[in-house]
Amino acid sequence: MTTAPERTDPTPLAPGAPRSGTTFLGLPTAPRGVGHLRGDRPFPDAARDALRDGQLRANLGHATSTIRAKRARVVGEVPDWEQLRQAGKALKTATMARLDEHLVELERQVTARGGTVHWARDAEEANAIVTRLVQATGTDEVVKVKSMATQEIGLNEALEAAGITAHETDLAELIVQLGDDAPSHILVPAIHKNRAEIREIFLRTMPQFQGEGADRDLPDEPRRLAMAARTHLRERFLRAKVAISGANFAVAETGTLAVVESEGNGRMCLTLPQTLITVMGIEKLVPTWRDLEVFLQLLPRSSTGERMNPYTSTWTGVTPGDGPQEFHLVLLDNGRTAVLADEVGREALHCIRCSACLNVCPVYERTGGHSYGSVYPGPIGAVLSPQLTGVEDNASLPYASSLCGACYDACPVAIDIPSILVHLRAEHVEAQEKTTPEAAAFKALSTAMSHPRLWRLTQRAAGLGRLLARGRPTLPPVLPPPASGWTRSRDLPTPPRETFTQAWAREHGGRS
Amino acid sequence: MTSAREEVLGRIRTALGEHRPEVVVPRDYRAADERPAEQLREVLVDRLEDYKASVLRCGPDEVGATVAAALDAGLGPGWDAGSVVVAPGVPAEWRPDGATEDDGRPAVELAAFAATLTGVAVAIAETGTLVLDGGPVSGRRAVSLLPDCLVCVVEAGQVVGGVPEALRRLDPTAPLTMVSGPSATSDIELERVEGVHGPRTLVVVLVA
Ligand code: SF4
């Protein structure tokens, strides 16, 4: 069974070319050719296609506005929300400042309680570790509970190559997997599919609907579709020997892992199989048990807009007589230390994957998750993916934003996404060897803006733009290059007859 | 060759450099809820019902009868006591006659039971959450997971206001399950469906 469509690597490697880039401190970014952090097309091209898909836009618009309203209601219920948010931000900053020490402590605690800790430099190493662990149990199938980290590293494809079938068990992931599709939203990955499409996928792919005499009566009501998924997965849960999970949090001082979910598929995976393998990015730590009191309040309300999600499971190593008796924790770098090296950009590692920033983003609402090319879509994806891969491999993502700031306001750990976007844009522009028209324009603009006389000249020159507009409120989209690079995706207002400085000078007699 | 462990830790040290900020975490959020106990219990009932759990209240000497009524509600009248599995530490007075005590059989065999009866470790009023801690009264995790109907008894002193108070009462190293309503999904067109893989019916008996 395939999982997500193969994505062509946008930058095929010349023989002997480096497998990954490095930052200025020499820290490697996530390797090319494995996993899902890079799209096969730049954001503007993918977005233009998505914008033509009316069904997708309708589904997305409905989804994001519904979740926004729910979130606003339950956040409004909490009188100390802002205090929790600031505590969450500070806790993450504190965690990052001592990340090495906390990881060593986590390892000590997990090991002391019967678990085994593995370290993976990158996607390939993590995939190899997990494949080896699964093979050691002698099984050729595993159940999986939603984990962004394992999507990021392309684990399902790696397992498949080793002859191991991975069953996604989250309803949305199952829809995506059976439909041979890619997730489009962190929280509701199948939001781009409606009930009729889901019914069709289930009837076509679930064994219970195949063969002579199978009862193919499946109305497209969500309840009936969910029950079909329950039947389909129940048997797989009961026979599974190995489960693979992600983790929402890990507590360094106690070695406790936490998974937050709704359906109970997480509990099935964390409880029934003999062996549990958890793959976790090294940034998911919190220092102390007490710190969870902040994040367990922030996450559900920001994410699904619930006071608390139906199920939160925590476990520490192995508990005799209860749950898996073998536990492996794989700690994944895959470019995270490169992000950590950037003093501005490292804040992106504070993300608790609630998806609130997606739901408030006007760009995401219209283009959907697929346009971002990476498993991390939306505003957080626009700052995280280019840092994990090196900005040269996801160069269009820092521009996939209008910088309106809604993401910052919604973020439960107050990540200043707009500032990181601007920072990455600057980095991208600087990094370009040959000067592009846009880079030249930004450079010229910044020079002009810092010299008043030049600025006035520039503004007067812009008056020429009025000729091109021929009285319409915006300039024609088809301007000659290099200006077309800008107007293709933006409405450029026709420059005013008179600039602000000119008007001021006229009305105030030259005083400025 | 350096191990992956040494290399990742080394990269972190390089990334952070010499200067590591000392961060003070402001903890001026609410640590406790000072509302009177009865008011907290009312909030708990309201939140549980809001998330589609049923709640039955009773006095300390009526638990057995109320559990029976809860099973009537969850399974329909005429249920078979043998199809109800109880966590080993559940007091005898709570149990229906003829119920099966969990004897540590292979977890998957618990799927054959229609309903489960357990106690809880703590209940959080503000979020409508029951916390099971894997102890004798809560039972091991599979017990409260596989049967389709879950009945939980909450005692008066177990209700706290918010999440911080609950975490203070819990042992972090125990296998904890926090339950807020029946299992649910909103993955299809965001329409909420109660009950996917976990118990589809949750009935809470609140003793107070
Ligand atoms: S960046 Fe903030 S709002 Fe966006 S997913 Fe992460 S935690 Fe949530």
Q: Residue A437: its pLDDT value, please?
A: 59
**Separation between Cα atoms, residue A352 and residue A374, nearest integer Å:** 17
Q: Decide if B21 and A222 are in contact by the 8 Å CB cutoff.
A: no
pLDDT digits (tens, 9 = 90+) for A187-203: 667 777 888 889 999 99
Nearest to B95, CA basis, from B103, B86, B104:
B86
Q: Is 60 exceeded by the pLDDT of residue A481?
A: no
Average pLDDT (B65-87) is 97
**Separation between Cα atoms, residue A64 and residue A313, nearest integer Å:** 27
| Residue indicated by tokens 């840092």 | A387
Q: Let me know: does A366 contact A190? Beta carbons within 8 Å.
A: no
Q: Residue B55: its pLDDT value, please?
A: 98
Q: Decide if B145 and A80 are in contact by the 8 Å CB cutoff.
A: no
Report CA Rg, chain A. Answer: 25
Nearest to A304, CA basis, from A265, A270, A244, A353:
A353
Nearest to A267, CA basis, from B172, B197, B174, B163:
B197
A454 band by pLDDT with thresholds 50, 70 and 90: low
Q: How far, in Å, from the CA of A393 to the mean position of ligand 1?
A: 22
pLDDT digits (tens, 9 = 90+) for A1-19: 333 333 334 443 444 444 5
Q: Decide if B4 and A113 are in contact by the 8 Å CB cutoff.
A: no
**Separation between Cα atoms, residue A190 and residue A182, nearest integer Å:** 8
Q: How many CB atoms lie within 10 A of CB A441?
A: 16
Q: Residue A478: its pLDDT value, please?
A: 46
Average pLDDT (B93-121) is 96
User: Average pLDDT, whole number, for chain B?
Assistant: 95
Average pLDDT (B71-79) is 96
Structure tokens at A389: 């891969």
Q: How far, in Å, from the CA of A410 to the mean position of ligand 1?
A: 8
Q: Decide if B167 and A104 are in contact by the 8 Å CB cutoff.
A: no
A181 band by pLDDT with thresholds 50, 70 and 90: confident
Q: Residue B182: its pLDDT value, please?
A: 81
B196 band by pLDDT with thresholds 50, 70 and 90: confident
pLDDT digits (tens, 9 = 90+) for A203-238: 999 988 988 888 888 988 988 999 999 989 998 999
Q: Residue A511: its pLDDT value, please?
A: 45
Q: Decide if B11 and A251 are in contact by the 8 Å CB cutoff.
A: no
Treating both helix axes as pointing N-terminal to C-terminal, what angle do A81-97 and A99-112 enclose, rounded to 10 degrees? 90
Burial class of residue A76 in the structure, from the number of CB atoms within 10 Å of its CB (0-12 exposed, 13-18 middle, 19+ buried): exposed
In a domain, A276, yes or no: no
B86 band by pLDDT with thresholds 50, 70 and 90: very high
In a domain, A343, yes or no: no
In a domain, A445, yes or no: yes
Q: Residue A182: its pLDDT value, please?
A: 75
**Separation between Cα atoms, residue A122 and residue A383, nearest integer Å:** 19
Ligand 1 in reach of A429 Cβ (< 6 A): no
Distance from the A19 Cα atom to the nearest Cα atom in chain B, whole angstroms: 17
Average pLDDT (A149-168) is 95
**Separation between Cα atoms, residue A374 and residue A175, nearest integer Å:** 19
| Residue indicated by tokens 């997708």 | A56
Q: Is 90 exceeded by the pLDDT of residue A88?
A: yes
User: Residue B1: how many CA atoms within 13 Å on its side-chain side?
Assistant: 2
CA angle B31, B36, B41 (to 5 degrees): 95
In a domain, A466, yes or no: yes
The partner residues of A343 in beta bridges, in order of sequence, read none
pLDDT digits (tens, 9 = 90+) for A367-399: 777 778 788 989 999 999 999 998 888 888 888
What is the phi/psi pair of residue A173, to 5°?
-65, -35
Q: Residue B208: its pLDDT value, please?
A: 87
Residues 6+ apart with CB under 8 A from B106: none
| Residue indicated by tokens 């409880």 | A271
Q: How far apart are the first and last CA of chain A?
A: 70
**Separation between Cα atoms, residue B104 and residue A95, nearest integer Å:** 40
A439 band by pLDDT with thresholds 50, 70 and 90: low
**Separation between Cα atoms, residue A243 and residue A258, nearest integer Å:** 15
Residue bearing the bigger pLDDT, A208 or B144: B144
Q: Is 90 exceeded by the pLDDT of residue B134?
A: yes
Q: Residue A486: its pLDDT value, please?
A: 46
Ligand 1 in reach of A354 Cβ (< 6 A): yes
Name the residue at shortest CA distance from atom 3 of ligand 1. A411
A103 band by pLDDT with thresholds 50, 70 and 90: very high
Q: Is 60 exceeded by the pLDDT of residue B59?
A: yes
Q: Is 50 exceeded by the pLDDT of residue A175?
A: yes
In a domain, A493, yes or no: yes
ipTM: 0.96
Q: Residue B29: its pLDDT value, please?
A: 97
Q: Let me know: does A374 contact A39? Beta carbons within 8 Å.
A: yes
Task: Tell whether A397 is within 8 A of chain B (Cβ).
Answer: no
Q: Is 70 exceeded by the pLDDT of residue A505?
A: no
Please list the helix, strand and coil fractions of chain B in percent, rounded to the nearest 5, in that order: 30, 20, 45
**Separation between Cα atoms, residue B50 and residue B30, nearest integer Å:** 23
- The domain in which residue A467 lies consists of 438-507
Distance from the B61 Cα atom to the nearest Cα atom in chain A, whole angstroms: 30
Q: Residue A464: its pLDDT value, please?
A: 43
Nearest to A64, CA basis, from B153, B189, B199, B17:
B189
Residue of B nearest to A239 (CA): B108
Structure tokens at A265: 């598929």
Q: How far, in Å, from the CA of A353 to the mean position of ligand 1?
A: 5
Pairing of strands B129-132, B176-179: antiparallel
| Residue indicated by tokens 């190995």 | A242
**Separation between Cα atoms, residue B32 and residue A443, nearest integer Å:** 54
In a domain, A175, yes or no: no
**Percentage of residues of chain A with pLDDT beyond 70:** 78
Q: Residue A122: its pLDDT value, please?
A: 97
Q: Which ranges of A153-221 does DSSP label H, i.e. alpha helix? A: 155-161, 171-178, 195-205
Q: Let me know: does A277 contact A240? Beta carbons within 8 Å.
A: no
The partner residues of A285 in beta bridges, in order of sequence, read A250
**Which residues of chain A are within 8 Å of residue B107 when distances are taken between CB atoms?**
271-272
Residue A326, SS3 per DSSP = strand
Which residue type does B142 have? A
**Separation between Cα atoms, residue A258 and residue A284, nearest integer Å:** 10
In a domain, A13, yes or no: no
Q: Residue A45: its pLDDT value, please?
A: 81
Ligand 1 in reach of A421 Cβ (< 6 A): no
**Separation between Cα atoms, residue A145 and residue B4, nearest integer Å:** 26
Q: Residue A466: its pLDDT value, please?
A: 45
Q: Residue A487: its pLDDT value, please?
A: 45
DSSP-assigned letters across all residues of A443-464: HHHHHHHTSHHHHHHHHHHHTT
**Which residues of chain B are within 8 Å of residue A198 when distances are taken between CB atoms?**
188
| Length of chain B in terms of residues written | 208
Treating both helix axes as pointing N-terminal to C-terminal, what angle do A222-239 and A171-178 enclose, rounded to 10 degrees? 90
Average pLDDT (A259-275) is 95
Q: Residue A374: its pLDDT value, please?
A: 84
Q: Residue A479: its pLDDT value, please?
A: 45
**Separation between Cα atoms, residue A203 and residue A224, nearest integer Å:** 12
Average pLDDT (A52-80) is 87
Average pLDDT (A47-52) is 78
Ligand 1 in reach of A356 Cβ (< 6 A): yes
Closest atom of ligand 1 to CA, residue A380:
1
Average pLDDT (A425-433) is 76
In a domain, A486, yes or no: yes
Structure tokens at A22: 């490095």
Q: Is 50 exceeded by the pLDDT of residue A470?
A: no
Distance from the B78 Cα atom to the nearest Cα atom in chain A, whole angstroms: 25
In the sheet where A115-120 sits, what is the strand order?
A: A115-120, A326-332, A275-281, A242-245, A141-144, A165-168
Give residues 279 to 318 of A whose Cβ lies within 8 Å of B: 282, 289-290, 292-294, 296-297, 300, 304, 306-317
Q: Residue A2: its pLDDT value, please?
A: 35
A23 band by pLDDT with thresholds 50, 70 and 90: low
Q: Is 50 exceeded by the pLDDT of residue A119?
A: yes
A456 band by pLDDT with thresholds 50, 70 and 90: low
A107 band by pLDDT with thresholds 50, 70 and 90: very high
Residues 6+ apart with CB under 8 A from A164: A131, A134, A135, A139, A140, A141, A142
Distance from the A45 Cα atom to the nearest Cα atom in chain B, whole angstroms: 27
pLDDT digits (tens, 9 = 90+) for A329-362: 999 999 999 999 999 999 999 999 999 999 899 8
How many domains are contained in chain A? Answer: 1
Q: Let me know: does A192 contact A198? Beta carbons within 8 Å.
A: no
Q: Is 60 exceeded by the pLDDT of residue B199?
A: yes
Average pLDDT (A78-97) is 97
Nearest to A324, CA basis, from A262, A281, A278:
A278
| Structural domains in chain B plus CATH codes | 36-207 (3.40.50.10420)
User: Average pLDDT, whole number, for chain A?
Assistant: 83
Q: How far, in Å, from the CA of A406 to the mean position of ligand 1?
A: 11
Q: Decide if B186 and A188 are in contact by the 8 Å CB cutoff.
A: yes
